[in-house]
């Protein structure tokens, strides 16, 4: 009898083990078809261990959740989400992840529209097309998708809410270098602007050769550089010198990186101390290599990715440069010896003049090609593609139907929309990519 009981107990133990582990069968993604397409493409995912319960299955394209259409043990069909962009396919079944191959997202729509600005150079707060700007030349975006614009022509810093309401947060409009609150402060042709994790703004005050800070309460101060005095000196606060600093970007560690344009250098500023050091660059030139050997020629634009790589719009070289955290400088796209308007990979691409650069969450770079009146993207492997723009003018619309007039600066919002300072149209525009 005891033997029979042991057999029965063993039987139920095995059955229980099998039932408890039915959901723990390994999930494997073997292939996807098709491997590329636009938004809403239906993709068939082949593999094993998917089960048959749609409620237990999730599919992600490049981290963006897709609509699951059907599920069987070996096949899932899912619809590519809007703005998924290129990346890996991931399947989750009962909390167990399986990573598949890369899906290449094909952009099917690029539409340009107005955010704010009347098109006439001036100064007026208001909503949308009622507002007026004068040479908007710097852009940054906070976590709530508020835009902050530096105005070269008005010597002011403006704010645009997600609903298009434009207000002035700093600057009297009179060229100068006064540290004060709000509109009592003075700037001299402010260029680049960036924001830190506490929503403090930092401005490359181009004409003053200084780096300025604007707190959330509107207090403006000078954290590095000597107002009105150009030079090339590392040091703390007013002991440091810049020579027409233009581009500026903040990282998550409280550091600013500055394109010190007329010094042909990339500088770093510690916001806690005001200490300025040189990252790379020396005399004007175009040399890749270590940061001690590299050369740039009037770099204006600068951005940073999540791994600390810097990307530079090396304006007079007509190239896009990369600086790794380990100190290696390379040329990602463009030619320092040839200007033009050619899409292509690496040094086969041609640009005219680029002042701005930004990067999205998928490590795609975007630049306004000022001289060609176009907005271009650069994939992580260096493929340059024209997204919007054609000849000089002002037209809203899709792709190359749109027209710009000397777009200088670009930023990316939380939904991967591009925000463009259409500088000599005196407008702020949005480009939606799908």
Judged against a pLDDT cut of 90, whether residue 5 lies above it is answered with no
Judged against a pLDDT cut of 80, whether residue 12 lies above it is answered with no
| Residue from 377, 384, 375 nearest 405 by CA | 375
* Average pLDDT of the residues in 242-253: 97
Tell me the pLDDT of the chain averaged across its residues.
93
* Average pLDDT of the residues in 112-122: 98
> How many angstroms separate the CA atoms of 121 and 423, rounded?
10
Say what the pLDDT of residue 15 is: 39
Which of the residue ranges 22-31, 236-245, 357-366 would you say has the lowest mean pLDDT?
A: 22-31
382: left (phi over 0), alpha (psi -120 to 50) or beta: left
In the chain, the largest separation of any two C-alpha atoms, in whole Å, equals 101
Per-residue DSSP letter, 181: B
* 277 vs 20, more confident: 277
* Average pLDDT of the residues in 121-145: 97
- Percentage of the chain lying above the pLDDT 90 cut: 92
* Average pLDDT of the residues in 80-87: 93
| Residue from 260, 280, 256, 259 nearest 270 by CA | 256
Say what the pLDDT of residue 26 is: 80
| Residue from 129, 103, 62, 51 nearest 425 by CA | 129
* Average pLDDT of the residues in 28-51: 96
Say what the pLDDT of residue 17 is: 36
Which of the residue ranges 30-34, 83-87, 233-237, 349-353 would you say has the lowest mean pLDDT?
A: 83-87
Say what the pLDDT of residue 25 is: 57
| Residue from 127, 107, 104 nearest 117 by CA | 127
Confidence of residue 7 (pLDDT cuts 50, 70, 90): very low
> How many angstroms separate the CA atoms of 14 and 124, rounded?
78
Q: Structure pTM?
A: 0.90
* Residues 6+ positions from 396 with CB-CB distance below 8 Å: 112, 113, 114, 402, 429
Say what the pLDDT of residue 27 is: 87
> How many angstroms separate the CA atoms of 61 and 373, rounded?
33
Number of neighbouring beta carbons within 10 Å of residue 398: 12
């Amino acid at each position: 009898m005891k033997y029979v009981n042991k057999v029965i107990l063993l039987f139920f133990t095995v059955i229980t083990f099998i039932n408890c582990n039915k959901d723990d069968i390994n999930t494997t993604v073997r292939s996807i078809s098709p491997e590329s397409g636009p938004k809403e493409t239906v993709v068939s995912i082949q593999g094993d261990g998917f089960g048959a319960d749609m409620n237990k299955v999730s599919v992600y394209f490049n981290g963006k959740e897709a609509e699951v259409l059907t599920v069987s043990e070996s096949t899932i069909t899912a619809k590519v989400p809007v703005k998924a962009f290129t990346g890996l396919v991931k399947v989750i079944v009962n909390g167990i992840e399986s990573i598949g191959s890369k899906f290449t997202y094909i952009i099917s729509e690029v539409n340009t529209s107005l955010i704010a600005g009347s098109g006439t150079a001036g100064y007026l707060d208001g909503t949308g097309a009622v507002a007026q700007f004068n040479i908007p030349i710097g852009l940054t975006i906070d976590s709530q998708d508020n835009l902050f614009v530096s105005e070269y022509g008005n010597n002011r810093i403006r704010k645009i809410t997600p609903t298009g309401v434009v207000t002035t947060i700093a600057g009297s409009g009179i060229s100068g270098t006064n540290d004060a609150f709000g509109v009592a402060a003075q700037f001299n042709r402010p260029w680049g602007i960036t924001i830190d994790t506490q929503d403090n703004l930092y401005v490359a005050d181009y004409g003053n050769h200084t780096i300025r800070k604007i707190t959330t309460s509107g207090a403006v101060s000078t954290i590095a550089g000597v107002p009105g005095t150009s030079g090339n000196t590392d040091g703390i606060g007013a002991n440091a010198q810049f020579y027409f600093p233009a581009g500026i970007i903040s990282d998550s560690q409280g550091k600013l990186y500055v394109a010190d344009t007329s010094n042909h250098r990339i500088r770093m500023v510690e916001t806690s101390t005001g200490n300025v050091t040189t990252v790379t660059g020396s005399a004007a030139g175009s040399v890749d290599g270590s940061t001690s050997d590299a050369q740039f020629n009037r770099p204006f634009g600068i951005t940073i990715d999540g791994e600390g790589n810097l990307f530079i719009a090396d304006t007079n070289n007509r190239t896009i440069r990369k600086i790794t955290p380990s100190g290696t400088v390379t040329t990602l796209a463009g030619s320092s010896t040839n200007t033009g308007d050619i899409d292509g990979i690496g040094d086969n691409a041609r640009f005219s003049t680029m002042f701005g650069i930004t990067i999205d969450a998928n490590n795609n770079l975007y630049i306004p090609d000022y001289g060609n009146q176009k907005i271009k993207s650069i994939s992580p492997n260096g493929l340059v593609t024209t997204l919007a723009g054609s000849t000089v003018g002002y037209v809203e619309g899709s792709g190359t139907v749109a027209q710009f007039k000397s777009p200088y600066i670009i930023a990316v919002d939380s939904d991967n929309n591009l925000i463009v300072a259409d500088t000599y149209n005196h407008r702020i525009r949005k480009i939606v990519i799908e």
